[in-house]
Every structure is written in structure tokens, then in C-alpha cells.
């Protein structure tokens, strides 16, 4: 990565908040004050989970970048950094400040022994694609999928070929209703996730992966409880105990998106309870809840060759989003 022509990098601080909001407003044409208030608060409170940098030109704030540590989302067990916000003052966008920000992120990644930086960009944003390509980014073997939260989209079917994605428990819907239009969540008890569910989630995940990922799920639960303004993660129960979960958050601005969307990070079903429609019930209930909250889109990211999961999501109405996942090796 080449050295910037000018600009000095430093850590982003709470005092930079107004400058961050103003630069973003000038670029996007709208204020995302609430998003940045939550994101900056979370990043400064959890320095181990984020990388936050700013760049100055002769002492004047010129831009910023925020990257989040990722270790386990979307079924990916590698530790990577995900750059979800980067902005440069429009008056300084040809002064090397974007390169300075990426260089500062990379330097901090090396200290933490992180060797991959990812980001997403709309396929139509040719200027941004050229910027990242010129700095060594390439297409990652991952695909962004999305669907509308309208309950009529997709028809989650009995799951096949994977213990995580499952079909056919007792029907808890109105017995007078038409069975054909009964939603999958009518046949499974699904409720909001709470902090008390941590042990059960870790146990289910351990059965699926063979590893104890308590640290990862502890971070995700705290993020869900403290950082997200809307709590949408769910747990499925059978015989008065958790047998599945779906972890999601409402995104109000990552990767420059203007409209809120739900991001699904992980989904798991106890192997002994597989093939009983639990994953479909969780997803169906999530879509119903999001639609009621006027969150119109749900997204997730999947490796290109996870065919069982891709098949499940396809049947559930997910389709390729107009987003590219880019990756930069950091050595």
C-alpha cells in the first residue's frame, strides 16, 4: 500500500463526533447522527472489537474509518476486520486521505495479527470499486443475499442436507386457520433472545461445530443488548428448552446504505432437533417482526460454496444483492 501524499493518522475520539456526522452528511446528503452515535459509542467502549482511525491535514479533521472485528459471523471462523464505514471530506478526496486511512487500519491489524480486511461496495459504485481495486482489494469468495421482509416472499420448506436447516413440529396456530397458509413459526414456539440464553446458544453451537465459542457469542449478545437500537434476535423452544436461535441486528448505515436493513449473523439448530422446521420457523418469525418494525430488507453473507445453506436461503426467498464483497490481504 503506497504512502499518502499528505495527511496524518490518529485514533478516532469521542470529540470527533460532530465532524464525523458532518462529513458523512455532506457525502450522503442526509444526517445519520443516530447511527454514528451508536457506532462510535460502541467502538470506543470496546477497543478490542473495533479499529477506529481519523486523518488530519495540518491539524484539520479530514476523514475517518471504522472497522469491526469479525470472528464467527456467517459461519466464517477466521478472524478478520470488516471496514464498514470510511469517509473523507469532499474537499480533500484527491489528497491521499483514503489511502492514509486504509494504511492506518492495516497497521493496527498487523499489531493484532489480523491478516484480512473485508468490505462491501455496491456494484454500480464504479469510483469506489476503482479506489479499492487500486489499493489491492479483490473479490472475496462470499455472496451477499437479501430478501424483502414481506411474509409472502419465499416459501421456507422442510430443510434438507444440513443439521442446521431443518421441518414439522406440533402446530401452535389457530386450529380454525387454513393449514396451507399457516406460517412455519406457527408450528414452533419462538421468542425474543435474552442474555440468559447464552449458555444454551453456546451448547447448541458446540454440538454443531465441535468447539466452545463462548467468547464469540458473549460479544454478540452484548452487541445485541447494548449497541442495537432494536432487538430482533430470536430463540426457538421445544419441551421448555432452547433448541435453535437466529442472531440478527438492525443496520442503520453500514457500508454507506441509506435505509435500515436487518443483518443476519448466524443461525443454529440443535442436531437432535433438526429436520423439524425450526430454522424455517425462526426465519419466518424474524421476517414477521421486521416487517412490523418497517424494516423492509434482510441481508446475510454466505460463502459461495456453502450449497446447503444457499439452498435453504433460496427457498426462503433470498436472492443475490447488488453488493460485492471485497478482500485485502494484510501482510
Q: Please give the Cα distance from 247 to 217 (Å, whole number).
A: 10
> What range defines the domain where residue 29 resides?
8-114
Characterize 70-103 residue by residue with b for buried, 16 or more Cβ atoms within 10 angstroms of its Cβ, and e for exposed: bebbbbbeeebbbbbbbbbbeebbebbbbbbbbb
Instruction: Note the pLDDT of residue 159.
Output: 42
CATH code of the domain in which 100 resides = 3.40.630.30
Query: What's the pLDDT band for 197 if we cut at 50, 70, 90?
Result: very high
Residues 100 and 239 in one domain: no
Edge-to-edge strands, sheet with 80-88: 8-11, 50-57, 60-70, 80-88, 116-122, 323-329, 138-139
Residues 30 and 107 in one domain: yes
Residue 308 has pLDDT above 80, yes or no: yes
Kindly report the number of other CB atoms within 10 A of residue 60's CB atom. 10
On whether residue 119 sits in a domain, the answer given is: no
Residues 150 and 267 in one domain: yes
Helices 198-209 and 214-222: crossing angle, nearest 10°?
140
Alpha helix stretches (DSSP H) within 83-168:
97-111, 126-134
Structural domains of the chain, count: 2
Instruction: Note the pLDDT of residue 219.
Output: 81
Residues 305 and 181 in one domain: yes
Residues 50 and 94 in one domain: yes
Strand partners, 312: none
Strand partners, 266: 247
Phi/psi region, residue 249 (left: phi>0; alpha: psi -120 to 50; beta: rest), is beta
Query: What's the pLDDT band for 271 if we cut at 50, 70, 90?
Result: confident
Compute CA distances 184 → 132, 154, 177, 201, 280, whole Å: 42, 12, 13, 21, 6
- Using only the alpha carbons of the chain, give its radius of gyration: 21
The predicted model gives 279-288 an average pLDDT of: 92
List of residues 6+ apart from 238 with CB closer than 8 A: 169, 188, 189, 273, 276, 278
Residues 207 and 313 in one domain: yes
Residue 181 has pLDDT above 70, yes or no: no
Query: What's the pLDDT band for 223 if we cut at 50, 70, 90?
Result: confident
pLDDT top residue among 110 and 255: 110
Which secondary structure element, helix H or strand E, spans residue 241, and what is its range? strand 241-251
pLDDT in tens, 129-157: 999 999 999 999 999 999 999 866 655 44
Quote the pTM value: 0.80
Q: What is the DSSP letter of 62?
A: E
Would you state the cell numbers that stand for residue 57, as one nine-digit string? 491535514
pLDDT top residue among 192 and 183: 192
Query: What's the pLDDT band for 172 if we cut at 50, 70, 90?
Result: very low
Residues 292 and 195 in one domain: yes
Q: Please give the Cα distance from 73 to 78 (Å, whole number).
A: 9
Compute CA distances 209 → 135, 220, 286, 313, whole Å: 35, 17, 24, 20
On whether residue 138 sits in a domain, the answer given is: no
Residue 168 has pLDDT above 50, yes or no: no
pLDDT in tens, 60-100: 999 999 999 887 655 566 789 999 899 999 988 777 999 99
pLDDT top residue among 7 and 109: 109
Residues 218 and 313 in one domain: yes
Residue 160 has pLDDT above 90, yes or no: no
Residues 101 and 199 in one domain: no
Amino acid at each position: 500500500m503506497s504512502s499518502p501524499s499528505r495527511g496524518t493518522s490518529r485514533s478516532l475520539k469521542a470529540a470527533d463526533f460532530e465532524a464525523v456526522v458532518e462529513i458523512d452528511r455532506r457525502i450522503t446528503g442526509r444526517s445519520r447522527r443516530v447511527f454514528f452515535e451508536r457506532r462510535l459509542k460502541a467502538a470506543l467502549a470496546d477497543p478490542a472489537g473495533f479499529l477506529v482511525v481519523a486523518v488530519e491535514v495540518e491539524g484539520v479533521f479530514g476523514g475517518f474509518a471504522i472497522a469491526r472485528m469479525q470472528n464467527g459471523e456467517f459461519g466464517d471462523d477466521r478472524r478478520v476486520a470488516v471496514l464498514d464505514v470510511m469517509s473523507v471530506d469532499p474537499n480533500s478526496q484527491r489528497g491521499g486521505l483514503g489511502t492514509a486511512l486504509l494504511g492506518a487500519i492495516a497497521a493496527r491489524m498487523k499489531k493484532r495479527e489480523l491478516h484480512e480486511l473485508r468490505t462491501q461496495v455496491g456494484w454500480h459504485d464504479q469510483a469506489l470499486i476503482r479506489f479499492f481495486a487500486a489499493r489491492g482489494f479483490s473479490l472475496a469468495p462470499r455472496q451477499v443475499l437479501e430478501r424483502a421482509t414481506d411474509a409472502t416472499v419465499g416459501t421456507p420448506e422442510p430443510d434438507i442436507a444440513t443439521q442446521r436447516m431443518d421441518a414439522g413440529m406440533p402446530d401452535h396456530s389457530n386450529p380454525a386457520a387454513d393449514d396451507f397458509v399457516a406460517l412455519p413459526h406457527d408450528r414452533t414456539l419462538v421468542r425474543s433472545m435474552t442474555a440468559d440464553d447464552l449458555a444454551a446458544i453456546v451448547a447448541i453451537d458446540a454440538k454443531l461445530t465441535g468447539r466452545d465459542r463462548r467468547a464469540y457469542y458473549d460479544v454478540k449478545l452484548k452487541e445485541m443488548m447494548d449497541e442495537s437500537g432494536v432487538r430482533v434476535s430470536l430463540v426457538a423452544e421445544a419441551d421448555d428448552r432452547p433448541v435453535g436461535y437466529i442472531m440478527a441486528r438492525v443496520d442503520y448505515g453500514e457500508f454507506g446504505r441509506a435505509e435500515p436493513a436487518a443483518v443476519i449473523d448466524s443461525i443454529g439448530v440443535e442436531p437432535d432437533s433438526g429436520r423439524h422446521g425450526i430454522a424455517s420457523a425462526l426465519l419466518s418469525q424474524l421476517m414477521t417482526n421486521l416487517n412490523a418494525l418497517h424494516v423492509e430488507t434482510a441481508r446475510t453473507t454466505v460463502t459461495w460454496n456453502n450449497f446447503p445453506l444457499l439452498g435453504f436461503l433460496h427457498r426462503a426467498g433470498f436472492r443475490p444483492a447488488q453488493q460485492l464483497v471485497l478482500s485485502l490481504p494484510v501482510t
